[in-house]
A and B are shown apart, each in its own frame.
Chain A
Amino acid sequence: MKPLFSLFHMASPATLRRNGVLGMNRRNAHYVLPGNHRSLYPNVDNKLITKQICAEHEIPTPATFHIMERHGDLDWLTKIADLHQEFVLKPACGAGGRGVVVVESHEADCFQTAGRETMSLTDLQHHASTILSGLFSLGGQVDRAFVEQRIVRHAAFDPVAVCGTPDIRIVLYRCVPVMAMVRLPTNASRGRANLHQGAVGAGIDMRTGRTTGGVCRNRVVMRHPDTGSAIAGFSIPHWPALLGVSMELADVLELGYVGVDLVVDHAAGPVVLEANARPGLAIQLANHRGLLPRLEYVDNKGLGRMTVSQRWAALHSFAAL
């Protein structure tokens, strides 16, 4: 059977099981469905609610400049452009980075995006109108658009990021950070940190915060495709703080299985961008490690929630898993 899978350049299910790889079906059936109560989904599916929760618990998030609920609010974009040289326009209920426009700079009616594209004010207003109509929202429902502060990436990321800001995805199971990766924008991903659009995902050693290697379009890469810098061995700035913020957010969100996306601002340090109740599985490729042993490790620690010190201790154990 095994040579048959090799013939088609596939891994056999036995190999994946041996490596502890978590599949989409198992993630949904064993972790997302039992661990994440449906009533808690709006807390993460709606970025504005996530921001509100963060604000209530003093968890740092990018500053919100304005929230647009009606098409009549679109004129606000002109006022925002007058006040801010750079900003991000987002749908409240978007998924997979869809509908997000990062404005790096603008001159008069000409807006330069992080993806090196140029948009007019009309284009921007039309995009915001599309967001309000719900085209990017998860259930296709009418949505809200908001404009927030653009995070300026930490200088430490300069050798391994182009066009945009790298974000750090930490997957937490029962509030324990089990795996993390940093997503590095590329020219192919048009400055976005989305792996399926061509960004590089680099695994992170949970204990040290150093990158272990990268993956681009599901294949292992050792150097950044645009800058040529080595991806492994790079230290994520503010790593302990990033872990602390993610655990704090997981505690208040009460989701059993959650992915928290953070960025490191050059001035403010770790900032929460959003949380995800169905975090993807590419993090395993980036780390070249399966999630299952770590998830089972947490399960074996009993049904109750682990204390913060136990969680930090668990991070050391993950190195061997």
Chain B
Amino acid sequence: MQTKEHSITRLVVVVLVVSGTAAALARYSLRHMRSLPTGDTLWRIRYVVTFDTDQDGARVSIFVPGNTSHSRVFRQRLSHPGMRMEVSRPAASAINSLVATAPQPGSYRFVIDQDIHFASTGMAGSPKPGKAITTKQKEYYLRDEPRVQASNLVVRKQLAELIAARLPKARTVERIYTHCIDSIAMDAAGPNDALGTIQEGAGTTVGRARAMVALCRAAKIPARLVCGFELRQGEVNRPLIWVETRQGYGWVPFDLTNEFKGSVPKSFVPVGYDTPAPVTARNGIAGLHAEYSVQRFAASEIFPTSLRRGIASILDLTHLPLQTRRTLALVLLLPLGALITALFRNVVGIPTFGTFTPSLIAMSFVYADARIACILFALVVTMGLCGRFMVEQMKLLMVPRLSVVLTLVVLVLVFCLSALDYLGLSLGSGSMLMPLVILTMLIERIHITEAEDGFAYTLKLLVQTLAVAALCYGLLRWRTMGYLLIRYPELHLFTLAVLICAGRYSGYRLTELWRFRDFGDSSKGSQT
């Protein structure tokens, strides 16, 4: 019987290893052998940003390119030593932005590379034409802003002079565009807000674009400022500013600088809306300096596997949006966390509270500031235990009792987060990933184990749980491995093979060498 099981196990492990190797090699060679379709190019947009701050928690907003009908971001690299970088989605915007936070005063520098695949004939599977915007979105794009004073009397008066009679939307926008081209001069030292530009009849690139946005909004036509780059080889790579107005089911672009009306070249890649620059200071920043560069690079350097979408692209995770890939990179690391747990259980022989509790605790820490998360975790568990001891006095039934502890855990967590905010500290966007139910069960288990097996044993088990969680945390923070698994998910066939081997491992556990140490000792241990 044992031989049969051994044979099946061996066969499965060999099949997994061989197919994993074959699939990884096939994907690797495909990535390097296939050539780019004619006319397609690869580009890298780089931001190099430096700034000083004399405050804790100073922030910088960074707008990064999104996918368009002709371009797709296939890789993003961030280098931000000593800073925390989080993804955020601005209201009513389809493009993700990042927020870099400097934890303490000092000088900082970060570099962001975005690699873009540009398909001259259009990207297959590109976003379909949009739907009608909602009333809320419409209100958002008609709003009055400090520098886009759409409801100001001067702006309204200017609009009334331009549009005497009621016109169709397209004609109105065209007239506003022509006015901005003809009557508002370009002046690098001029005002950069809508009102000032209209009053003086001159303004900066941003000022002119804002003037057009304000006039469109005054005419009740949704409009927005667009900041972006042109995928063009050149030495000076200033971000471009253009305007988009909502007409029918789509956004129609107007570029006052290059005088493009109704459309802009497909090589224009937007990075952010209603922002004058890709990188802007939010609070406590002095001397923000950003350099941008757009460079074309050879296809042999990196090949995006998601050039054309076929059914086979389901097996290719690199075509997914960046945010999804970030999440998947973490999810793909979880089996490795489970592998660590299995190895600790069956090879090392360390028991923990709950089988996957260490992995889940580690996962909740990944997106948060580790030090603050540790303090928060200790606080929640301690307060939860205090609550559990108090609840014990009331002799409640188990499910309501667990629910009481869960409620206490939630309240402690919420007020701890509020206290952190009061102290100007941030836990990070993923802080709420804290597995509350797991924490509640952990508290209950700690309490029961303490009552049944004593404090020393409970402490030992807790320390072991946290040690395994710390190892899992180190693994889950290993971004390189996460992104490698995104590119080669078949590597998990090896994980499966190792897990199966661990499942059939019948040798001694490391702790058993200690437990049965008296068998190796002629004196037979300490005799009492």
Closest to B503 in A: A29
Contact of B2 with A222 in the complex, beta carbons under 8 Å: no
Complex contacts, B397 vs chain A, CB 8 Å: 71, 129, 133
Given A133-B399, A135-B448, A288-B524, A219 and B509 contact (CB-CB distance below 8 Å): no
In whole angstroms, how far apart are the Cα atoms of A16 and B520 in the complex? 7
Complex contacts, B507 vs chain A, CB 8 Å: 13, 23, 25-26
- A contacts with B, residue count (CB < 8 A): 47
In whole angstroms, how far apart are the Cα atoms of A11 and B520 in the complex? 5
Contact of B516 with A220 in the complex, beta carbons under 8 Å: no
- B contacts with A, residue count (CB < 8 A): 36
Within 436-471 of B, Cβ neighbours of A (below 8 Å) are at: 444, 448, 452-454, 457
A126 at the interface (CB under 8 A from B): yes
Taking a contact as CB atoms closer than 8 A, the residue among B395, B399, B512 that contacts A16 in the complex is B512
A34 at the interface (CB under 8 A from B): yes
Complex contacts, A197 vs chain B, CB 8 Å: 453-454
Contact of B512 with A23 in the complex, beta carbons under 8 Å: yes
Binary per-residue interface labels of chain A (205-236) against chain B in the complex, 1 for a CB within 8 Å, 0 otherwise: 00000000001101111110100000000000
A38 at the interface (CB under 8 A from B): no
Task: Name which of B398, B514, B517 has the most chain A CB atoms within 10 A of its CB.
Answer: B517
Contact of B528 with A11 in the complex, beta carbons under 8 Å: no
Contact of B517 with A10 in the complex, beta carbons under 8 Å: yes
In whole angstroms, how far apart are the Cα atoms of A123 and B394 in the complex? 10
Complex contacts, B453 vs chain A, CB 8 Å: 196-197
B346 at the interface (CB under 8 A from A): yes
A270 at the interface (CB under 8 A from B): no
Contact of B508 with A133 in the complex, beta carbons under 8 Å: no
B389 at the interface (CB under 8 A from A): no
Complex contacts, B1 vs chain A, CB 8 Å: 34
Taking a contact as CB atoms closer than 8 A, the residue among A9, A225, A284 that contacts B528 in the complex is A225
Closest to B445 in A: A135
In whole angstroms, how far apart are the Cα atoms of A89 and B223 in the complex? 75
Given A13-B513, A16-B513, A130-B398, A221 and B528 contact (CB-CB distance below 8 Å): yes
A305 at the interface (CB under 8 A from B): no
Contact of B398 with A135 in the complex, beta carbons under 8 Å: yes
Complex contacts, A126 vs chain B, CB 8 Å: 395
Taking a contact as CB atoms closer than 8 A, the residue among A12, A15, A26, A284 that contacts B506 in the complex is A26
Complex contacts, B448 vs chain A, CB 8 Å: 135
In whole angstroms, how far apart are the Cα atoms of A290 and B516 in the complex? 10
A19 at the interface (CB under 8 A from B): yes
Taking a contact as CB atoms closer than 8 A, the residue among A24, A26, A34, A219 that contacts B526 in the complex is A219
Contact of A15 with B457 in the complex, beta carbons under 8 Å: no
A301 at the interface (CB under 8 A from B): no
Complex contacts, B452 vs chain A, CB 8 Å: 98
Taking a contact as CB atoms closer than 8 A, the residue among A11, A123, A196, A223 that contacts B516 in the complex is A11
Taking a contact as CB atoms closer than 8 A, the residue among B505, B527, B528 that contacts A25 in the complex is B505
Contact of A9 with B519 in the complex, beta carbons under 8 Å: no
A316 at the interface (CB under 8 A from B): no
Within the complex, the shortest CB–CB distance from A145 to chain B, in Å, comes to 13
In whole angstroms, how far apart are the Cα atoms of A19 and B517 in the complex? 11
Given A12-B520, A24-B509, A29-B504, A216 and B514 contact (CB-CB distance below 8 Å): no
Given A12-B513, A25-B346, A129-B397, A220 and B518 contact (CB-CB distance below 8 Å): yes
Complex contacts, B349 vs chain A, CB 8 Å: 24
Closest to A120 in B: B395
Within the complex, the shortest CB–CB distance from B450 to chain A, in Å, comes to 13
Contact of B516 with A21 in the complex, beta carbons under 8 Å: yes
Within the complex, the shortest CB–CB distance from B109 to chain A, in Å, comes to 47
Closest to B397 in A: A129
Given A25-B508, A134-B398, A220-B524, A285 and B457 contact (CB-CB distance below 8 Å): no
Within 102-152 of A, Cβ neighbours of B (below 8 Å) are at: 122-123, 125-126, 129-130, 133-135
Contact of B519 with A288 in the complex, beta carbons under 8 Å: yes
Contact of A16 with B398 in the complex, beta carbons under 8 Å: no
Complex contacts, A26 vs chain B, CB 8 Å: 506-507
A238 at the interface (CB under 8 A from B): no
Binary per-residue interface labels of chain B (488-525) against chain A in the complex, 1 for a CB within 8 Å, 0 otherwise: 00000000000000001111110011111111110011
Binary per-residue interface labels of chain A (1-35) against chain B in the complex, 1 for a CB within 8 Å, 0 otherwise: 00001101111110110010101111011100010
In whole angstroms, how far apart are the Cα atoms of A222 and B521 in the complex? 16
Within 356-404 of B, Cβ neighbours of A (below 8 Å) are at: 395, 397-399
Within the complex, the shortest CB–CB distance from B395 to chain A, in Å, comes to 4
Task: Name which of B505, B506, B521 has the most chain A CB atoms within 10 A of its CB.
Answer: B506
Taking a contact as CB atoms closer than 8 A, the residue among B2, B457, B518, B519 that contacts A219 in the complex is B518
Within the complex, the shortest CB–CB distance from A199 to chain B, in Å, comes to 12
In whole angstroms, how far apart are the Cα atoms of A205 and B41 in the complex? 82
Contact of B521 with A11 in the complex, beta carbons under 8 Å: yes
Complex contacts, A225 vs chain B, CB 8 Å: 528
Complex contacts, B524 vs chain A, CB 8 Å: 220, 288
Contact of A19 with B457 in the complex, beta carbons under 8 Å: no
Contact of B519 with A24 in the complex, beta carbons under 8 Å: no
Closest to B5 in A: A34
Report which B residues bind A (CB closer than 8 A): 1-2, 5, 346, 349, 395, 397-399, 444, 448, 452-454, 457, 504-509, 512-521, 524-528
Could you show 16 A-B contacts with beta carbons less than 8 Å apart? A9-B514, A11-B519, A15-B519, A16-B513, A19-B520, A25-B508, A129-B398, A133-B397, A133-B398, A133-B399, A135-B444, A196-B457, A216-B528, A219-B526, A220-B524, A285-B516
